[in-house]
C-alpha cells in the first residue's frame, strides 16, 4: 500500500502533467482557429475550380492535355499528408490504416509531414520524395509537391497519383480521405461542407454552366489553368490537414487535462482516507498506551 508521501508525489507529478497539457490545449486552440479559417476561406475557390475541371474532363479528346491522359495503372504514386508531431489523438493512426490498403509492390509515396515519412520508412515502403510544410502552409510548398507528382506522371514513372490526407469536417470530426490527383480526368471536389462532393456539383447560386467558351483557345487556357489548379488543390489539402491536426490536438489535450484533473481528485481522496486512517491508528496507540500505564 502506498504511503502518504508516495501519493503526494504522484499528485504533484500528475498536476505538472496537467499544466503542460492545459498549455498545449490553449496553444492548439489558438492555432486551430487560424487553421480552420484558412481552410474554410479557400473552399469556395477550390470547389469552383474543381467543378470547372470536372466538367472539362469529359472533353479530354478535345483538349488532349498530357495531364489528362488515362492509361492502365501499373504503378501508382500516393501523396501522403500527415502531421510533423504527435499528441493529436488517433489522427495519424487512422490515416496510416488507409496506407496499408495500397499495394506495397506497385505504389510509391510522396510524403508531406515527418510522421508520414517515418511510417513509410518503418513499413519499408517505397519513398519517392519527402516534403515538409509549415503550420501556415505556403503556396510555394504545395507547388513543389504538386510539380514533383506531375513530373512523375508526365515521365510515365507512374500511371496515376492519389492524395491521402485527413479531411477537416469539424472540430470533433476529421476523417482520412483518398482523392484522385492525376490524371485530371478523375478530378472531384475534396472539400467537406459542400453537397454533391462525389459528383462535383455545387449547391450554390450561379453554378458553372455545362458549356464553356475559351479565349484565346481551349488548349492555351487549359494549358495554363491545369497546373495552377493542381497546385492550388494540393495547397487546399495542406490547409485541410493542418486544420484537422490542430483540432485533433486541441481535443486530445483537453481530454488529457480532464483525465489528469480527475486522477488528482481520486488521488486526493485516497490521500485523505489514508491520512485519516493513520491519525486514527495513532490515537488508538496513544489511548492503548495510556490504558496500559494506568
| pLDDT tens figures, 241-279 | 999 999 999 999 999 999 999 999 999 999 899 888 888
| Contact between residue 60 and residue 68 where contact means Cβ atoms under 8 Å apart | yes
Q: Is the pLDDT of residue 198 over 80?
A: no
What integer pLDDT is reported at residue 266 of this predicted model? 94
* Residue 192: predicted pLDDT: 42
Per-residue model confidence (pLDDT) at position 284: 83
Of 86, 80, 166, the closest CA to residue 123 belongs to 80
pLDDT tens by residue, 3-55: 888 999 999 999 999 999 999 999 999 999 899 998 888 888 877 776 766 66
**If you average pLDDT over residues 123-130, what whole number do you get?**
95
User: Residue 196 above 80 pLDDT?
Assistant: no
pLDDT for the residue numbered 111: 97
Domains, the chain, in order of start with CATH, read 42-249 (3.40.1380.10)
pLDDT score recorded for residue 292: 78
Residue 285 pLDDT level (bands cut at 50, 70, 90): confident
Catalytic residue among 11, 54, 77, 88: 88
Contact 53, 229 (CB under 8 A): yes
Mean pLDDT over each residue of the chain, to the nearest integer: 84
Q: Which of 79, 33, 58, 35 is nearest to 233 (CA)?
A: 79
Q: Contact at 8 Å (CB) between 35 and 243?
A: yes
Q: Identify the pLDDT of residue 43.
A: 82
Q: What is the pLDDT of residues 70-126, one digit of tens each?
A: 889 999 999 999 999 989 989 999 999 999 999 999 999 999 999 999 999 999 999
Task: Write down the pLDDT at residue 204.
Answer: 40
Stretch 269-290: mean pLDDT: 85
Q: Which pLDDT does position 163 carry in this prediction?
A: 96
- Going by pLDDT thresholds of 50, 70 and 90, the confidence category of residue 61 is low
Whether the pLDDT of residue 197 is over 50: the answer is no
The model's pLDDT over 159-180, given as tens digits with 9 standing for 90+, comes to 999 999 999 999 899 999 999 9
DSSP the chain: ---HHHHHHHHHHHHHHHHHHHHHHHHHHHHHHHHHHHHHHHHHHHHHHHHHHHHHGGGHHHH--GGG-----SSEEEEEE--SS--STTHHHHHHHHHTTS-TTTEEEEEESHHHHHHHHHTT-EEEEEE---SS--HHHHHHHHHHHHHHHHTTS-SEEEEEEEEEEETTEEEEEEEEEESGGG-----TTSS-TTTT---STTPPPS----SS-HHHHHHHHHHHHHHHHHHHHHHHHHHHHHHHHHHHHHHHHHHHHHHHHHHHHHHHHHHHHHHHHHHHHHHHHHHHH-
Phi, psi of 112 (to 5 degrees): -130, 105
Confidence at residue 282, expressed as pLDDT on a 0 to 100 scale: 80
Q: What is the C-alpha to C-alpha distance for residues 60 and 222, in angstroms, rounded to an integer?
A: 11
Residue 216 annotated among the catalytic residues of the structure: no
pLDDT at residue 238 is higher than 90: yes
Q: Pick the residue with more confidence: 188 or 294?
A: 294
Residue 25 confidence (pLDDT) = 92
More confident residue, 291 or 265: 265
Amino acid at each position: 500500500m502506498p504511503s502518504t508521501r508516495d501519493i503526494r508525489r504522484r499528485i504533484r507529478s500528475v498536476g505538472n502533467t496537467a499544466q503542460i497539457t492545459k498549455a498545449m490545449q490553449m496553444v492548439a486552440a489558438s492555432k486551430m482557429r487560424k487553421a480552420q479559417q484558412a481552410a474554410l476561406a479557400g473552399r469556395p475557390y477550390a470547389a469552383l475550380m474543381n467543378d470547372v475541371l470536372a466538367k472539362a474532363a469529359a472533353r479530354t479528346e478535345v483538349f488532349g492535355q498530357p495531364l489528362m491522359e488515362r492509361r492502365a495503372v501499373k504503378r501508382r504514386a500516393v501523396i501522403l499528408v500527415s502531421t510533423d508531431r504527435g499528441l493529436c489523438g488517433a489522427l495519424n493512426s487512422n490515416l496510416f490504416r488507409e496506407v496499408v490498403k495500397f499495394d506495397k509492390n506497385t505504389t510509391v509515396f510522396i510524403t508531406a509531414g515527418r510522421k508520414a515519412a517515418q511510417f513509410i520508412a518503418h513499413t519499408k515502403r517505397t519513398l519517392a520524395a519527402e516534403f515538409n510544410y509549415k503550420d501556415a502552409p505556403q503556396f510555394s510548398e504545395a507547388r513543389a509537391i504538386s510539380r514533383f507528382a506531375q513530373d512523375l506522371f508526365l515521365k510515365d514513372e507512374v500511371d496515376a497519383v492519389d492524395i491521402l490526407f485527413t479531411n477537416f469536417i469539424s472540430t470533433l470530426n476529421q476523417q482520412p480521405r483518398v482523392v484522385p490527383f492525376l490524371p485530371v480526368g478523375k478530378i472531384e471536389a475534396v472539400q467537406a461542407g459542400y453537397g454533391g462532393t462525389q459528383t462535383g456539383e455545387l449547391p450554390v447560386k450561379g453554378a458553372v454552366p455545362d458549356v464553356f467558351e475559351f479565349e484565346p483557345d481551349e488548349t492555351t487556357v487549359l494549358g495554363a489553368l491545369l497546373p495552377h489548379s493542381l497546385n492550388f488543390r494540393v495547397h487546399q489539402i495542406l490547409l485541410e490537414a493542418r486544420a484537422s491536426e490542430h483540432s485533433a490536438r486541441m481535443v486530445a489535450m483537453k481530454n488529457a487535462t480532464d483525465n489528469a484533473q480527475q486522477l488528482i481528485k481520486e488521488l486526493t481522496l485516497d490521500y485523505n482516507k489514508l491520512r485519516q486512517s493513520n491519525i486514527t491508528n495513532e490515537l488508538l496507540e496513544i489511548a492503548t498506551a495510556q490504558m496500559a500505564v494506568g
